Structure 1
Amino acid sequence: MPSTRFFFAALIAISLAACSTIGAMSAWLNDQVSFSAPQLQRYLDQRFPREFDKLGGLVSVTLANPRLSLPPGDNRLRLEFDMGMGALGSQGVPNGRLALSAGLRYDATTQGLHLVDPELLQFDVPGTGALLKGGARGVVNSLLAEYARSEPVYRLEPALLDKLPAGRRIGAVDIDEGRVIVRLQ
């Protein structure tokens, strides 16, 4: 009787291990792998809050509590932050909100998914209402583009990248039906 229990426990453990390996491999066999919003959210939660100094420390921007969503029927993600701004060495306490939408691309140097063409949707920080009048909105969008070039929204796991079929590389990254789909070339 104990050997039967051991046999079934071992069989279940082997089956579970095989399923996880087959799952990762079958994704690449279909020339794609997909990620959900909660997977990307968990990665972002580990990287925030963050403070960014601009103009040699004259201006400080704090981003906290990232909220990522993949709106149905949209090919762009939505990313929202609590945001604060400080000046002359003071920290920006998050008392406002920043929201943007963007596509995604893969960057081989960071092994991560980066924002593409981020577009500012909302910028509400007390005391900065006049900031977005005139050409200032373009300045904020260019700062978002700079951030998008250097910081991944999600980093692919090395174990998954190690399973890439020989001679294949990552190509397009699409957002479709509430999932991020990474396709092979």
Structure 2
Amino acid sequence: MVMINRRRWLAASAGAALAAALVGCGMMGNDYTFSQSQLQSALERKFPFNKRYMELFDIQLANPQLTLDPSRNRVNVQFDATVNNRLFSGEPMTGRFALDSGLRYDPASRAVVLQDPQVQQFEVRGLPPQLTRQFNALGGILAEQLLQGYPLYTFRPDELRLAGASVEPGTITVLPNGINVKINRP
């Protein structure tokens, strides 16, 4: 009788430990939920973002600020932008760059990535009026070509295994205070 109670106690303890571990990493049942602060921290680790475009512009995006738009199932990200024009030497131009984007899971990178980002704002201080249209076009290109597929959160390999089996993220839903990622079981 003592042996049966001890086995039940060990099984209950192991189950409680597994449940506590899953809650601690954001997984419970068939989904992961990441808070806005977890996503903000993950995003900050990936910046500053530097890119040369058409051998003419050096672009740096820094200080990302993430907000959530659950009514549209999209995220909004604002950045400080610095643009160096390689044709004209001089001081770099600075301003703000903002986009909104859907999200999808990319199996190759094991990441939740930006999907179809759209520019909401691309303002550069001190920009001559004749260049405003070109910089707005550059902002659109930056969002569509350079930030499409940019990782917002990358899963660790152990986050995609449950009870020894591989799992894959499915539907992603933007919530008022985070995102929820459903898990597709094999």
TM-score (norm 1): 0.74
Name the residue aligned to 1:118: 117
Q: How far does the alpha carbon of each residue in 1:138-169 deviate from its partner, in whole angstroms, 9 at most, with x for none?
A: 66334312233442011112221122773642
The alignment's C-alpha RMSD in Å is 3.3
- Equivalences, count: 169
Q: Which runs of 5+ in 2 are unaligned?
A: 1-13
Is 1:95 the counterpart of 2:94? The answer is yes
Aligned residues of 1:50 and 1:62 also touching (Cα < 8 A): yes
> What is the aligned-residue identity percentage?
27
Residue-by-residue CA offset, 1:109-135 (whole Å, 9 max, x unaligned): 1111111121111111121655564x9
Residue 143 (structure 2) aligns with: 144
Q: Does 1:160 align with 2:159?
A: yes
Cα offset, 1:76, TM superposition: 1.0
For residue 80 of structure 2, the aligned residue among 74, 79, 82 is 82
Moved more, 34-43 or 138-147: 138-147
Bigger shift: 61-70 or 164-173?
Answer: 164-173
1:158 maps to a residue whose letter is P
**Secondary structure of the corresponding residue to residue 106 of structure 1:** strand
- 1:43 corresponds to: 42
Look up the match of 1:27: 27
Which runs of 5 or more structure 1 residues have no equivalent in the other structure?
1-13
Secondary structure of 1:109's counterpart equals coil
Provide the rounded CA distance (Å) in 2 between the counterparts of 1:92 and 1:43: 31
Does the 8 A contact of 2:65 with 2:77 survive in 1?
Answer: yes
In structure 2, what is the equivalent of residue 108 of structure 1? 107
Q: Is the 8 A contact 1:62 1:85 kept in 2?
A: yes
The one-letter amino acid paired with 1:120 is V
**4+ residue runs of structure 1 moved beyond 4 angstroms?**
14-19, 89-94, 128-132, 135-139
| Distance in 1, Cα, partners of 2:22 & 2:35 | 19
| 1:24, distance to aligned residue in structure 2 (A) | 6.0
State the Cα distance separating 1:175 from its structure 2 match: 0.7
Q: Which has the higher strand share?
A: 2
2:63 & 2:182 partners in 1: Cα distance? 29
Supply the AA of the counterpart residue of 2:142.
L
Equivalent residue letter for 1:100: L
More helix by share: 1
Partner of 1:10: none
Q: How far apart in 2 are the matches of 1:17 and 1:91?
A: 60
Secondary structure at the aligned position of 1:159 is classed as helix
Asked if structure 1 preserves the Cα contact closer than 8 Å seen for 2:73 and 2:173, the reply is: yes
> Residues 75, 128 of structure 1: CA spacing in aligned structure 2 closer, same or farther, 3 A cutoff?
farther
Structure-2 separation of matches of 1:165 and 1:103: 31
2:175 matched residue in structure 1: 176
Q: Which amino acid aligns with 1:65?
A: N
Give the secondary structure class of the aligned counterpart of 1:41: helix
